[in-house]
Amino acid sequence: MKNLVILGAGTAGTMMLNKLHKALNPAEWKLTIVDNEKEHYYQPGFLFIPFGIYSREDVIKPKKEFFPSNTNLIESEIWKVLPEFSKVHLSDGKIIDYDILIIATGSRTAPEETEGLTGGLWRNDIFDFYTLEGALALAEKFKTWQGGRLVINITEMPIKCPVAPLEFAFLADAFFEDKGIRDKVKITYVTPLAEAFTKHKCAEVLGHFLDDKGIELEAEFNTGRIDNENKKIVSWDEREIDFDLLVTVPTNKGADYIETSGLGDELNFVPVDKHTLQSSANKNIFAIGDASNIPASKAGSVAHFASEILTENILNYISNRPLSARFDGHANCFIESGHGKAFLIDFNYDVEPMPGKFPLAFIGPFSLLKESRTNHLGKLAFRWIYWNILLKGRELPMGPDMSLNGKVLDNFINNNIL
């Protein structure tokens, strides 16, 4: 009996578990998954929590709901991997052997990386929404906040879901408008990038949107420290931005055990071949999702597309065939733009986002790179798709029979999801 061990039961780990459970022969392979958290968080939903659109209950389900019934689950923290011995040490003292290891422990926010970030203002006037606690605390703050300078800040790249901070800015604009205090809120979007987004084509469209919504853009701002006393963020080259309320996306890093195990780069992301997803250092180790260093967006959609490729390559690896399935970096993201509308973008390693329709050319229903209400409904429907299709390792209904229009989606959402 051989062992295939998956580290991390988040989006990517759960999808791989479900796919491999179907693909591997149970008489030959024992599948094990390790995670120290009992709950599965729907992280894309964190975005909506500060604005009172989603609550805690909307984004949490027990992890077990998404596992095949006879899953060998180990609930423990991963302490260290010993690649030269093909062993994983757990914090509870257990040691597990593997023949194949899949690393899917994602990326976490690391506010401790920035001087002053977790100082006196943390969760009083400084918030993050990339964690559930942060998003919930900010929702409370927004209930009573009367306005002032709202600064939205990306500390450094890469971050998971690089569109989320922009969506936050658009939603904040709409939120304060609806509250009738938009004229009392000055919104500034502060990014280390040279423009609004990582992909130039989108940056043009989205940058225009920031303008229209009266959101100021501070580009090429690399946050060095937070001055709690004077309520300023200060860049490494000593530029300063005043804030009354700071919503920040802290540095993103891979799990600490990756560093302890010598498996990561300078941010604990695992270097892999960007097409095969095999570790550059160890042939029997693969990484998927936010944990890997592939030059694609760290997004659930990317993990979904990659999971099909990785499943194929694991089967290739097992039968000593070349790893012929090649991932192209496909990403597909809805971008909320406020007032019940959204964009959709679709791109990969080589192709920039383009206008058009998705998933079917000319039919849609979703408009690429254009704001529409259908896209917004798609974003809301994504939660249902995430829980019911993606995590369970099923295929997306993208065949020719998917010809939803906005109205159909509306009904679907009203009856099934919200």
Residues found near another protein in the complex (CB under 8 A): 156-158, 162, 192-194, 198-200, 220, 222, 224, 235-237, 265-267, 275, 295-297, 305-306, 308-309, 325-328, 330, 346, 348-351
Q: Give the contact letters, 152-191, x = binds to ligand FAD (CB under 6 A), - = no.
A: --------xx--x---------------------------
254 contact choice in ligand FAD, another protein, none (CB below 5 to 8 Å, kind-dependent):
none
- CB contact set of 28 (below 8 Å; sequence gap of 6+): 1, 2
Q: Sheet containing 223-227: which strands, arranged edge to edge?
A: 223-227, 232-235, 240-242
Helices marked H in 132-227 — which ranges?
132-144, 164-179, 200-212
Q: Compute the distance between CA of residue 86 and CA of residue 108 in angstroms, rounded to an integer.
A: 25
338 contact choice in another protein, ligand FAD, none (CB below 5 to 8 Å, kind-dependent):
none
Residues of this chain, 60-89, that bind ligand FAD according to CB under 6 A: 77-78
End-to-end CA distance of the chain: 45
Cβ-based nearer residue to ligand FAD, 187 or 291: 291
Does position 44 interact with ligand FAD (CB under 6 A)? The reply is: yes
| 50's tokens | 């500060």
| 318's tokens | 């097992």
Q: Least CB distance from residue 372 to ligand FAD, whole Å?
A: 16
Other beta carbons less than 10 A from residue 382's beta carbon: 21
Cβ-based nearer residue to another protein, 23 or 181: 23
Cβ-based nearer residue to another protein, 402 or 418: 402
Q: Compute the distance between CA of residue 270 and CA of residue 170 in angstroms, rounded to an integer.
A: 33
| Residue type present at position 153 | N
b (16+ CB within 10 A) / e for 316-348: ebbeeeebebebebbbbbbbbbbeebbbbbbbb
Q: Least CB distance from residue 184 to ligand FAD, whole Å?
A: 26
Is the separation of the CB atoms in 222 and 156 below 8 Å? yes
290 contact choice in ligand FAD, another protein, none (CB below 5 to 8 Å, kind-dependent):
ligand FAD
202 contact choice in ligand FAD, another protein, none (CB below 5 to 8 Å, kind-dependent):
none
Q: Least CB distance from residue 169 to another protein, whole Å?
A: 18
Q: Compute the distance between CA of residue 295 and CA of residue 348 in angstroms, rounded to an integer.
A: 10
Site for ligand FAD (CB under 6 A): which residue of 4, 5, 10, 19? Answer: 10
DSSP track, 4-19: EEEE--SHHHHHHHHH
Site for ligand FAD (CB under 6 A): which residue of 138, 333, 404, 409? Answer: 333
Cβ-based nearer residue to another protein, 167 or 346: 346
Q: Which of helix, strand or coil describes residue 191? A: coil
Q: Give the contact letters, 206-235, x = binds to ligand FAD (CB under 6 A), - = no.
A: ------------------------------
Cβ-based nearer residue to another protein, 279 or 297: 297
Cβ-based nearer residue to ligand FAD, 47 or 136: 47
Does position 59 interact with ligand FAD (CB under 6 A)? The reply is: no
Residues of this chain, 352-371, that bind ligand FAD according to CB under 6 A: none
Cβ-based nearer residue to another protein, 285 or 303: 303
Q: Sheet containing 100-103: which strands, arranged edge to edge?
A: 72-74, 29-34, 2-7, 100-103, 285-287
Question: Phi/psi of residue 239, each to 5°?
Answer: -85, 150
Cβ-based nearer residue to another protein, 73 or 157: 157
Is the separation of the CB atoms in 108 and 253 below 8 Å? yes
Site for ligand FAD (CB under 6 A): which residue of 36, 260, 284, 316? Answer: 36
Cβ-based nearer residue to ligand FAD, 111 or 231: 111
Site for ligand FAD (CB under 6 A): which residue of 105, 251, 278, 367? Answer: 105
Q: Count CA atoms within 13 Å of residue 5 on its CB side.
A: 22
Does position 12 interact with ligand FAD (CB under 6 A)? The reply is: yes
Q: Name the burial class of residue 125, with classes exposed (0-12), middle (13-18) and buried (19+) by CB atoms within 10 angstroms of its CB.
A: middle
Q: Which residues bind ligand FAD (CB under 6 A)?
A: 8-13, 34-37, 43-44, 46-47, 77-78, 104-106, 129-130, 160-161, 164, 255, 257, 289-291, 298-301, 303, 333-334
